[in-house]
Amino acid sequence: MLIRKRRGGEGYLPSSEITPYELYLDRRRFIAQGAALAAGAAMGAAAAPDALAGLAPPRAGTPQEEKLTSYEDITTYNNFYEFGAQKDDPWRNSGPFRPLPWSVQVEGECNNPGTFALEDFLRGHEVVEPVYRLRCVEAWSMVIPWRGVRLRDVIVRAQPHGNARFVEMTTVVRPSEMIGQRHPILRWPYIEGLRLDEAMNELTILATGIYGKDLLNQNGAPLRLVVPWKYGFKSIKSIVKFRFTRDMPENTWQTMAPDEYGFYSNVNPDVDHPRWSQARERRIGEFRRRPTLMFNGYEEQVAHMYRGMDLRRWY
């Protein structure tokens, strides 16, 4: 598979984003070879010397220096209330769920609404494989090698109108296959949303895979959002609908407990959850808590979108 550096990229694109699956499997070799070599291998013969130069060595704190969470942990420890509220429920209960065939609805303020088969919805978009931290609002975290497409590309194809300011996303409702949906533990369907500039940010992807494999049901098969600088619940799973809106969508957790969960839900060590601290987190697989980073460590890529905003008010 050819993975190219994006046109017009500012050169910040972490080399982790283009590390192929083979290299995830052998981290020791990856380290031994060095990031530049690994990047070179990933870029293949097409890589021009200046493109390589643009890929700076990993900065401190980027996931390259953080251990990937094991596939087993990623697939057995999940919050996906559609399959139950315990961490192992999604893994245990998601067997009956049938993610394929799948279709996606695009509606609202856009020029190209419609219902699309998942293959058509994804066709033609560049595949990206970023490694992102995932920080749950419950103060645990993982490092996950995703595969997917940029949400930006999907949005460009939908051609939102000038007055569209938000994109709202909806999870499938199938109580017969999703045991958690048989109880009103949350208001079904699960709804999430992003401001359009957040959705268009280069980091935001629609994931279809983890560790080079198709998403398992418990991880939000066949299509889920990944917004790495926001708490995990923003990364809505098993998406069936995208709707472009003028008004801020009412995301599920905000409607459940508005004083605890806001629309933005950016990872922020300085703004505590009303009931617990967000200053530290437990990385799955580690013993001691580690400090939580502003915007989950993606400050450089996303902070500009919130300049001038009171992040205590817009939590």
Residues near another protein (CB under 8 A): 72-73, 76-77, 81, 85, 87-88, 138, 140, 183, 185-186, 256, 275-277, 280, 282, 284-285, 287-288
We find the least distance from the C-beta atom of residue 55 to another protein, in angstroms, to be 32
Query: For residues 160 and 246, what is the distance between their CA atoms, to the nearest angstrom?
Result: 11
We find the least distance from the C-beta atom of residue 204 to another protein, in angstroms, to be 25
The pair of three-digit structure tokens given for residue 153, joined into one six-digit string: 């590309």
CB 242 within 8 A of CB 168: yes
- DSSP assignments along 76-128, one per residue: HS---GGG-SSTTHHHHH-TT----S-EEEEEESBSS-EEEEHHHHHTTPPEE
Residue nearer to another protein on the CB measure, 81 or 298: 81
Residue nearer to another protein on the CB measure, 204 or 218: 218
DSSP β-bridge partners for residue 230: 266
Q: How far, rounded to the nearest angstrom, does the alpha carbon of residue 6 sit from its chain's CA centroid?
A: 19
Are β-strands 239-245 and 103-108 bridged in parallel, bridged antiparallel, or unpaired? Answer: parallel
We find the least distance from the C-beta atom of residue 217 to another protein, in angstroms, to be 17
Peptide bond into 20 cis (omega under 30): no
Residue nearer to another protein on the CB measure, 33 or 76: 76
We find the least distance from the C-beta atom of residue 90 to another protein, in angstroms, to be 12
* Structural Rg of the chain based on CA atoms: 19
We find the least distance from the C-beta atom of residue 113 to another protein, in angstroms, to be 32
Residue nearer to another protein on the CB measure, 89 or 198: 89
Residue nearer to another protein on the CB measure, 48 or 85: 85
